[in-house]
């Protein structure tokens, strides 16, 4: 996450949320966090 933020320091909120959703949609993460990142607003 810190590396992504440095690399994409001008990212929009939507881009950051998309990045986080990609992480939380991984099988291992879904097993640990079934609700993931939450509903898309």
Instruction: Give me Rg for the CA atoms of the chain.
Output: 11
25: nearest Cα among 12, 13, 41, 38: 38
* Helices and strands: H and E segment counts in the chain: 3, 0
Q: What is the pLDDT of residue 40?
A: 63
Please give the model's pTM, rounded to 2 decimal places: 0.72
Structure tokens at 14: 């939507």
Distances (CA, A) of 29 to 19, 21, 39: 14, 10, 16
41 residues of the chain, pLDDT tens digit each: 889 999 999 999 999 999 999 998 899 999 998 887 766 65
């Amino acid at each position: 996450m810190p590396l992504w933020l440095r690399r994409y320091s001008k990212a929009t909120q939507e881009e950051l949320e998309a990045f986080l959703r990609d992480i939380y949609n991984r099988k291992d993460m879904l097993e640990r966090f079934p609700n993931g990142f939450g509903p898309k607003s």
